[in-house]
């Protein structure tokens, strides 16, 4: 094969490679961009029900709290941003726990996060908010959780008002709760 044919094949190969990379990038970017803005995807929708277990191993469903505003927070004890916001959730729970149902949903994967490690983390830090364990990932799947922490704010009518991915401050949390009360 002469050098001219090799050069042409190299250019064609490079063009095909760049085309595949470009199409793959566009596909992945469009899919992830749609998932990133969870708020636009679920705001105003009826909250999807799910079942998790509480610290005593009893099944609890989101629908058990119908008629009351609900804050769902998806977290794990190994997650630094989750650890950062937990004290704020605990403070606000102590202030507003009678008016708003808190569902602190631990994403149990069985290896990095277990029910035992989560319980130990909560006890060690003296958190008082209600903790639930998503051992079958039913809650995470229902809300398309791809990153933690993620918080879902649901009004008393059972409609999702807002979803926020990322760590929240106490002021952020209070502001979002005011929107569902």
| Per-residue pLDDT reduced to its tens digit, 92-134 | 999 999 999 999 999 999 889 999 999 999 999 999 999 999 9
Q: What is the pTM of this model?
A: 0.76
pLDDT digits (tens, 9 = 90+) for 168-177: 999 999 999 9
Structurally, at CATH architecture level, domain 41-180 sits in: 3-Layer(aba) Sandwich (3.40)
Checking if the pLDDT of 17 tops 70, the result is no
90 has pLDDT over 70: yes
In DSSP notation, the chain reads --HHHHHHHHHHHHHHHHHHHHHHHHHHHHHHHHHH-HHHHHTTSBPPP-EEEETTS-EEEGGGGTTS-EEEEEE-TT-HHHHHHHHHHHHHHHHHTTTSEEEEEEE--SSSS-HHHHHHHHHHHT--S-EEEETTSHHHHHTT--SSSEEEEE-TTSBEEEEEES---HHHHHHHHHHH-
Domain boundaries, the chain: 1-36, 41-180
> pLDDT tens across 28-37, in order?
544 443 333 3
């Amino acid at each position: 094969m002469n050098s001219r044919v090799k050069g042409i094949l190299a250019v064609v190969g490079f063009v095909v490679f760049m085309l595949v990379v470009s199409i793959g990038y566009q596909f992945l970017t469009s899919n992830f961009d749609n998932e990133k803005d969870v708020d636009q995807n679920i705001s105003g929708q009826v909250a999807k029900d799910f079942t998790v277990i509480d610290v005593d191993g009893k099944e609890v469903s989101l629908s058990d709290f119908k008629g009351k505003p609900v804050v769902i927070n998806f977290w794990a004890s190994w997650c630094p941003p989750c650890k950062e916001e937990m004290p704020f959730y605990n403070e606000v729970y102590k202030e507003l726990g009678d008016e708003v149902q808190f569902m602190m949903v631990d994403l149990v994967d069985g290896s990095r996060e277990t029910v035992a490690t989560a319980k130990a983390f909560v006890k060690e830090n003296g958190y008082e908010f209600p903790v639930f364990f998503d051992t079958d990932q039913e809650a995470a799947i229902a809300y398309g959780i791809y990153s933690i922490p993620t918080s879902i704010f649901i009004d008393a009518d059972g409609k999702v008002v807002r979803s926020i991915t990322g760590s929240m401050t106490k002021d952020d949390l209070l502001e979002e709760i005011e929107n569902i009360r």
